[in-house]
Amino acid sequence: MGKIGIQLCGSYLPKYRIDRNLIAASWGRSSLGGERTVANNDEDAITLAVEAARNCLHGDSLEKIDGLFFATTSAPYKEKMNSAVMASALDLNRELVTADFGYSLRAGTGALKAALDSVRCGSARRALVTAADCRLGYPRSDQEQSFGDGAAAVLIGDQDLLATLEGEYSICNEMHDVWRNPEDTFVRTWESRFILGEGYTNTMSEVVRGILKKYGLEPKDITRAVFPAPDPRTLQGLAKKLGFDMKTQVQDPLISSIGYCGAAQALLMLVAALEEAEPGDLLLLANYADGADALLFRATGEIGQRSSQRKLQTLLEQKLMLSSYARFLSYKGLIETLPGEPFRLFPSATATWREAGSILRGHGSRCQACGKTTFPIQRICYHCQSKDQFVEVPISNYQGEVFTFSLDNLAGRSDDPVVIQTIADLGEEKVRFYGMMTDCNPSVVQIGMPVELTFRRIYDGMGIHNYFWKLRPVNKEDVTNG
């Protein structure tokens, strides 16, 4: 058996950030400094992971992907496969193994190891691993500030590798350090000195020393140590204890710019490391929770040749600052929005299942008689009235421009009052799409503005999360201006 490893990687960060000083000031307490990502009110762990996967897979053929493993501790559905929604949104084949991993911040590396094992044993040719989290810390707690929302994805295979798997080592260690019960909204923690010392630092030390010993390596052999950490100071202590040079060897834990993204943090940092790696670099990923996983990857000559669609650095730069702590609480669902307008939309499991081609997969129909492409799928052509003479075409990767728009003050939520009603022409075929614009300052919208599609949770009703596509600006300046 040849090498297995990572073929492609990508990440995704919500556009919204909040300055930690803003949270701190709202409570009259000290700030941890920096900022954190905040999922938009139309985003959740599923949509974040879909975006990360789209950034990862961009331009790659989807046919050979036959495994999809999703890791999160904030699954939108507690019973129902979240990765199945994702597989549709990514337009993956039906011949596919899907699995959800959860219940621990080690779910990310657990899913990664499962994907590596699947490819190694031949049960999957190419397995996509996604991880995303939107965890909640108690209001006023350190976690409220230190947590972030984000996602990452890696594609595992046995050829065209960016990085090869060089070693693995895991240990299990039961303790109550951070946990959440079924009825809990927020994470519970024991005393921080216990969980950081006895839990994090000692367990991480054990797994890192274990994998180095197993493969006859020393800390100096590691180019990049990728250690997700609850805070930068604890990471510094760990690095010193293990003999890694903080400045040259240790990957930025992303706490100051993004925050700790739960089950996604390990893969998010791995993607960040891969995007900066040189051929031959040896990366050590170690991930902690009730024990720890350690994995060794070596960057190949391909590294840097095939980059992610949008690198983490670009995602970091494209941001909109949340204007208030109140909006943060509302986006997090911790305070209710005004009931306002009743939705008269009744979710229908059967209708959305029947129309999943358009709604989730983002398929339009191309008329084989006249060539016109429309969205959503039309059985009878708008143009030539041919009946059932169409092929489905995926349009979710199309870019286009705004044809017309309205900034609707009646349609929004109380924490997000302006809905940008948008009509766009997408792709060379100018497929007409109608939807809402998201992640955009309304004042910058104009006819002709470049846009693309993003997968979002558009509303909830009857316990059903309704996912669909929205438009968003393509250019960085359209996100951040105004």
Partner 1 sequence: MGSIKDKVAIIGMGCSKFGERWDMGAVDLAIEAVYEAYGDAGIEAKDLEACWLSTLMAPVIGVSGSLAADGLKLGNIPVIRNENWCTSGHIALLEACMAVASGAYDLVMALGVEKLKDTGFPGLGTGRGMHPVYEARRTSPGSFGLIAERYFKTYGIPMEEGKITMAKIEVKNHDNGSLCPKAHFRNQITVDTVLKAPIIAWPLGLFDCCGNSDGAACAIITTPEKARSFRADPIYLKGFGISTDAMIPHFRPDFSWTSFNALVNSSRKAYEMAGIKNPREELSLAEVHDCFSITELLIYEDFGFSPRGRAKEDVDSGFFTRQGGLPVNVDGGLKCFGHPVGASGLRMTYEVYKQLQGKADLPERQIKNPRLGLAHTFGGPPQISAVAILGNERG
Span near partner 1 by CB under 8 A; candidates 10-18, 60-68, 137-145, 344-352 = 344-352
Provide, rounded to whole angstroms, the least separation between the CB of residue 64 and partner 1: 30
Span near partner 1 by CB under 8 A; candidates 219-227, 236-244, 246-254, 341-349 = 341-349
Residue 412 sits in the site that holds partner 1 (CB under 8 A): yes
Residue 337 sits in the site that holds partner 1 (CB under 8 A): no
Q: Which residue, 332 or 465, has its beta carbon nearer to partner 1?
A: 465
Amino acid at 328: F
Span near partner 1 by CB under 8 A; candidates 45-53, 91-99, 120-128, 460-468 = 460-468
Q: Which residue, 326 or 447, has its beta carbon nearer to partner 1?
A: 447
Contact residue for partner 1 among 305, 313, 404, 475 (CB under 8 A): 404
DSSP label of 380: B
Contact residue for partner 1 among 348, 386, 397, 480 (CB under 8 A): 348
Residue 139 sits in the site that holds partner 1 (CB under 8 A): no
Q: Which residue, 313 or 481, has its beta carbon nearer to partner 1?
A: 481
- What is the rounded distance in angstroms from the CA atom of residue 464 to the CA atom of residue 350? 12
Residue 346 sits in the site that holds partner 1 (CB under 8 A): yes
Residue 373 sits in the site that holds partner 1 (CB under 8 A): yes
Residue 458 sits in the site that holds partner 1 (CB under 8 A): yes
Is the Cβ–Cβ distance between 239 and 83 less than 8 Å?
A: no
**Closest Cα partner for 253 from 242, 237, 241?**
237
Is the Cβ–Cβ distance between 151 and 52 less than 8 Å?
A: yes
Provide, rounded to whole angstroms, the least separation between the CB of residue 326 and partner 1: 22
Residue 347 sits in the site that holds partner 1 (CB under 8 A): yes
Amino acid at 242: L
Provide, rounded to whole angstroms, the least separation between the CB of residue 418 and partner 1: 8
Residue 122 sits in the site that holds partner 1 (CB under 8 A): no
DSSP 150-189: EEEEEEEESSS-SEEEEEEEEEE----SEE--TT-SS-EE
Q: At what angle do helices 202-214 and 232-242 cross, to 10 degrees?
A: 40
- What is the rounded distance in angstroms from the CA atom of residue 452 to the CA atom of residue 474? 6
DSSP label of 34: S
Residue 407 sits in the site that holds partner 1 (CB under 8 A): yes
Residue 456, Cβ neighbours under 10 Å: how many? 27
DSSP 423-481: EEEETTTTEEEEEEE-SS-GGG--TT-EEEEEEEEEEEETTEEEEEEEEEESSHHHHH-
Residue 431 sits in the site that holds partner 1 (CB under 8 A): yes
**Closest Cα partner for 253 from 238, 271, 265, 241?**
265
Residue 387 sits in the site that holds partner 1 (CB under 8 A): no
Q: Which residue, 62 or 370, has its beta carbon nearer to partner 1?
A: 370
Count the residues of the shown chain that bind partner 1, applying the rule CB under 8 A: 45
* H helix or E strand, kind and range, residue 225: strand 224-226
Residue 457 sits in the site that holds partner 1 (CB under 8 A): no
Cβ neighbors of 390 (< 8 A, separation 6 or more) are 365, 366, 367, 368, 377, 378, 379, 381
Contact residue for partner 1 among 169, 200, 331, 433 (CB under 8 A): 433
Q: Which residue, 184 or 336, has its beta carbon nearer to partner 1?
A: 336
- What is the rounded distance in angstroms from the CA atom of residue 131 to the CA atom of residue 153? 6
Q: Which residue, 120 or 432, has its beta carbon nearer to partner 1?
A: 432
Residue 472 sits in the site that holds partner 1 (CB under 8 A): no
Contact residue for partner 1 among 314, 421, 441, 480 (CB under 8 A): 421
Residue 213, Cβ neighbours under 10 Å: how many? 11
- Which residues in the 63-102 window bind partner 1 by CB under 8 A? none
Span near partner 1 by CB under 8 A; candidates 122-130, 199-207, 328-336, 457-465 = 457-465
- Which positions lie near partner 1, rule CB under 8 A? 341-348, 351-352, 355, 359, 372-376, 382-383, 403-412, 419, 421, 423, 430-434, 436, 442, 447, 458-459, 461, 466, 468
